[in-house]
Structures are given as structure tokens and as C-alpha cells.
Structure 1
Amino acid sequence: MALYNVFDVAGSAMSAQSLRLNLTASNLANAETTASSPEEAYRARHPVFAAKLQQAQAGQAETSNGVEVGVRGVVETDAPVQALHQPNSPLADENGYVYRSNVNPVEEMVNMISASRSYQNSVEVMSTSRDLMLQTLRIGR
């Protein structure tokens, strides 16, 4: 039934924002981590989403809408990692440097707020749609 497509779209949006929130939390948890080489340093990760296209197939009455979670995968940012001179660190390389992740905590907090609000909006869409459907059923009584 076409009326229920709104639940599919909102549900897929909630799944997408949940993935985004999990990646942001992981980025924040690793913001201050260090490694012994730039290649081993943690790099911020972000999801890449793609909209599902309606695919009308012969004989198929309904199509799918929404967001494909992680279709393109998760990408790491290419921002450079920060080299810190800490010769007493057990992770220091031969030059006395350790390498901190490229996570920007301010950007990640903004990303977390945005994802949280998008998730809340999807919940509100589902709630409003449910209420409208119940009101429509009450009219038919």
C-alpha cells in the first residue's frame, strides 16, 4: 500500500542517521589517539549515502524509496594527521614523533547535532503520519 511508503522512507532515514551518529561517536572517541606512524594514525570516518531510485519493473505495482545506508561505504578523510614531538612516548618513531588522529572535535560535534536532529525529524514524520492515518480511520467510522 502506497500510504505506508512514508514509513519506509522515514525508517531508512533513521537507519542512515543512526549509522552517521555511530561513526561520529567513534571519531570523537578516537580524537586524541596517537600512533607511531602517519599510516597507523586514526582518520575520521564518514558515511556516504545514496538515494534509492525508484525502479519500476514490469508487473511491479510498488517501488522502493528511501536512503541506502552505506551504499558507497564509509570513507576516511584525507586531512593530514598531526605530528607531535614526544620523544619520551613509547609510540615515538626514530625522530621522536607521534602522530595524532585528524579528527576535528568541533566538526564532529556539529555533525552529531545535525545527525541527531535529522533522526528526530524522521521520528516526527513517522509519528505525524501515524496520527494522520488514525484520524483518517476515525472519519470512516
Structure 2
Amino acid sequence: MSDPLSATLQISGAGLRAQSERLRVVSENLANARSTGEAAGDDPYRRKTITFESEFNRAVQANLVSVKDIGKDKAEFAVEYDPGHPAADENGYVKMPNVNTLLELADMRETNRSYEANLKVMTQAREMVMRNIDLLRN
């Protein structure tokens, strides 16, 4: 069994890793929000999704969050009329990515807040460890 401060650091560290991966996925989605296929009929970029899971860690005696899967959103592609586009079909329509930038920005904001919360927990736990060391020195 580990001490509570060490467990706290490991739990918040797992949260930081998970939210960092989530931020990477959201950033990739935003970067490709207008990435169409290269030729007529090609599919555009498909939005990525991330799924988390909770795993019990015996050393910490607590559940740690981790990335379970990075998948693809099965939502339909939007179409836009743009007959001059290289990916336009015979009717002039282009398949657009199924990325909703407003949704991605909201997800990015939530991810950032979760990351900051985990970082704050880690910072406070580290400060408590340093105070314990200072007490032991005296």
C-alpha cells in the first residue's frame, strides 16, 4: 500500500496524461476541420473520438484513468456546393469533414480545465511533500 501523497501524485499524473491525449485529439480535429478528399468522391477527414477507462492500480490502491480507445466518429459528412473543388462530384458537391468546430472548442475548453485541475492537485501534493520534508529536517 502506498502513502496517500504518492497515490495522489499518481492519480493526478494519470489524469494529466489522459487529458493531454484528449487535447491532442481535439487539436487534430480542429486542424482538419476543412480537410476534404483529394479527388472526386474521396472521403474527407473523419472526426476522431477518445474514450477513457478507469483501471484499478494495486500499487496505489485506487482507480487511475487511461485512454481506452481513439476511434472515428461515424456521423455523416456534410456536403457543400463547390463545383471548382478537386474533390467535387459530378454535381459539384464536396464532402466536408464531420467536425463541428464549436463542439471541438467546447471540448478543448473542458479538457483544459480538467488538465488544470489535475495539475493543481499535483502541485498541492508536491507542496505537502516538501512541507513534510521540512518538518523532518527540524
TM above 0.5, yes or no, is yes
Q: How does 1:96-115 map to 2 (within 5 A)?
A: 96-115=92-111
- Verify: 1:83 aligned to 2:79, yes or no: yes
Question: What is the CA–CA distance in structure 2 between the aligned matches of 1:120 and 1:108, rounded to whole Å?
Answer: 18
User: For 2:123, which of 124, 127, 135 is the aligned residue?
Assistant: 127
C-alpha contact (below 8 Å) 1:34/1:99 kept by paired residues: yes
The answer for unaligned runs of 5 or more in structure 1 is 56-60
User: For 1:42, which of 34, 42, 45 is the aligned residue?
Assistant: 45
The answer for unaligned runs of 5 or more in structure 2 is none
Any runs of at least 4 consecutive aligned residues in structure 1 with deviations exceeding 3 A, and if so which? 61-65
Partner deviation per Cα, 1:10-44 (whole Å, 9 max, x = no partner): 1111010000000000000111122243x722121
**Helix, strand or coil: the match of 1:47?**
strand
Q: TM-score, normalised by structure 1?
A: 0.83
Q: Indicate the RMSD between aligned Cα atoms, in angstroms.
A: 1.9
Question: What is the CA–CA distance in structure 1 between the aligned matches of 2:60 and 2:81, rounded to whole Å?
Answer: 60
C-alpha contact (below 8 Å) 1:23/1:45 kept by paired residues: yes
- Verify: 1:15 aligned to 2:13, yes or no: no
Q: TM-score, normalised by structure 2?
A: 0.85
C-alpha contact (below 8 Å) 1:5/1:65 kept by paired residues: no
Greater shift, 83-92 or 98-107, is seen at 83-92
C-alpha contact (below 8 Å) 2:19/2:115 kept by paired residues: yes
Question: What is the CA–CA distance in structure 2 between the aligned matches of 1:62 and 1:22, rounded to whole Å?
Answer: 27
Report the count of equivalent residues: 133
Q: How far is the alpha carbon of 1:53 from its aligned partner? A: 2.3
C-alpha contact (below 8 Å) 1:8/1:65 kept by paired residues: no
Q: How does 1:45-64 map to 2 (within 5 A)?
A: 45-55=48-58, 63=61
Q: How far is the alpha carbon of 1:62 from its aligned partner? A: 5.2
**Helix, strand or coil: the match of 2:56?**
coil
Partner deviation per Cα, 1:22-74 (whole Å, 9 max, x = no partner): 0000000111122243x72212112100011245xxxxx654631122x2x11
Q: 2:63 is aligned with what amino acid?
A: N
**Helix, strand or coil: the match of 2:53?**
strand
Greater shift, 96-105 or 131-140, is seen at 131-140
Identical columns (%):
30
